[in-house]
Amino acid sequence: MHGLMQDWPLLCHKILDHAARQHGGREIVSRSVEGPIERTTYAAVRARALKVAQLLARQGYGEGDRIATLAWNTGRHLEAWYGIMGMGGVYHTLNPRLFPDQIAWIMKDAGDRVLFVDLSFMALAEAIVPQVPSIEKVIVFTDAAHMPQTSLENAVAYEEWLKGADGDFAWVTLEEGAACGMCYTSGTTGNPKGVVYSHRSNVLHAMIACMPDAMGISCRDVVMPVVPMFHANAWGLAQSAPMIGATLVMPGPRMDGAAIWELLDTERVSFTAAVPTVWLMLLNHLEETGRKLPHLNKVVIGGSACPRAMTRKFEADYGVEVIHAWGMTEMSPLGTLGTLKPEHDGLAGEARLDVKQKQGFPPFGVEMKVTDDENRELPWDGRTFGRLKVRGPAVAKAYYGGAGAEQFDEEGWFDTGDVAHIDAEGFMQITDRAKDVIKSGGEWISTIELENLAVGHPDVAEAAVIGVAHPKWDERPLLVVVAKAGRTPTKADLIAYLEGKVAKWWLPDDVAFVDEIPHTATGKIQKTTLREQFRDHVLPAA
């Protein structure tokens, strides 16, 4: 017997229809690439997205066509996304922080036919597009007055291009499993792998993200996704904010502490999200200027582990609730969020921070487990760590073109490549990337835990821990530190600081001071480069 409920396919453009109808006047505020702050509404974004869809369809693009974007978070980028999806196309976000050759490789792999690009990336586009024969058209997110001279063929200013449409267009009807978006993972080894989102997975993910114990946003919130749309869909906020009717503040090209603070303050942002590096810049700015965060209620921090000191500072000094979150491009990206459960009521001080330090529990729609190397499930005891595996309706079941097939098993579990433990309350804590964990005398040492502790030292700006070859123990930890400006901590200071906080055999054998720690295009510490840099490092004899 079948249910007798309507077939109402979960399609992304229905999110924008809903936003325009129910929250039509709600604003989308952008720091434009040209400079000024620009304001639009969900109703206007929908009207212009329809023009994008109409023009693309008229110019010969249709279902399944990959349309690339190389752009910051702005209202224009948002319109283009919905326009692309609404004519059946697949938005393909490109990360401008990758090397040009890598971006070109990704575009060729995806077979992108059109490129929408911000003014900031014109030189980059000029270097890349000639290497990508499938690109037929370049649309520059600007108006005629700001359109630069360019060597790109078939380049047009977005605002001029839009003048050719009246928006009299009906979104195409698709089945909900149709592809609507693509994003490549920034693999540290091998070629990047393409993740292909469907309308259904994006809509479900957006609903999941809005739930109270997930991101918990409402139409009363002013939401600022600092995390870029090119980094795992801005963690879904470009879909959940319109779905719930929240005001959106788009930070455009500026992510320095002063620029972020200005938007948080003038636009009265209540909810924001980004990687720890961004928040480090903001917190430094607040310390330097004595400014406060009177409007902000919640900050979601993920992409790499949120240092304990950061949670403490946001919550104790600025009254902002921190939600530590974990996810991956392959998971659309939300996996777990660290909102507390009633079981944690009554915890205070360091005991509360112990829980907030964890990456949290999954919302409905994500299942997880940890296994040993023989794929045996490990207990949820908050100690035993193993490979973290996940499944759910917004989790990838394959990569584009069949790459990385070994990460998916017959039961639908995706091996995240992360190492984690899960406690009795279901709270997961990442201890490492599988390839970064230090194996010392057959036992594992968590580099993330050591890094989190080290950045709690008052003289430390940033810390990374890597394994260095050791004749007896195979590998031992080396702590690499960037000191805060004007501070000169010593190795002895740092080791003494860590003593008593971790098992003795976890203590780093050595400390190296550097001016800078290398980062990947998504803001994670680039351990491969660091390991290369310290390959010949000789640890002091015990």
Catalytic residue annotation: 185, 330, 439, 444
Q: Quote the least distance from Cβ 105 to ligand AMP, whole Å.
A: 17
**Rounded Cα distance, 487 and 341, in Å:** 40
Tokens for 12? 């992304």
Find the shortest distance in angstroms from Cβ 241 to ligand AMP. 19
CB 268 to ligand AMP: min, Å: 27
Encoded amino acid at 279, one letter: W
CB of 302 to ligand AMP, least distance (A): 4
Q: Following DSSP, what letter does each residue of 483-530 receive, concatenated?
A: EPTT----HHHHHHHHBTTB-GGGS-SEEEE-S---B-TTS-B-HHHH
Binding site for ligand AMP (CB under 6 A): 185-186, 232, 302-305, 324-329, 333, 359, 416-418, 430, 433, 522
Q: How far is the CB of 488 from ligand AMP (least distance, A)?
A: 29
Residue whose entry in the numeric block shows the structure tokens 């990758």: 98
CA-based end-to-end distance of the chain? 71
Residue 245 near residue 195, CB atoms below 8 Å: no
Return the DSSP state at 419: E
Closest CA to 479 of 494, 489, 493: 494
- Cβ closest to ligand AMP, residue 74 vs residue 304: 304
* Tokens matching residue 13: 């453009």
**By C-beta, is 217 or 388 nearer to ligand AMP?**
388
CB of 523 to ligand AMP, least distance (A): 8
Where is 285: in which H helix or E strand? helix 276-289
**CB count, 10 Å around CB of 154?**
12
The amino acid occupying position 320 is V
Q: How many CB atoms neighbour CB 532 within 10 A?
A: 12
Q: Which residue of the chain is nearest ligand AMP when measured via CB?
A: 329
How far is Cα 201 from Cα 205, in angstroms, rounded to an integer?
6
Which pair of structure tokens corresponds to residue 468? Answer: 């260095």
Count how many Cα atoms sit within 13 Å of the Cα of residue 124 in the half-sphere of its side chain. 22
In terms of CB distance, is 119 or 455 closer to ligand AMP?
455
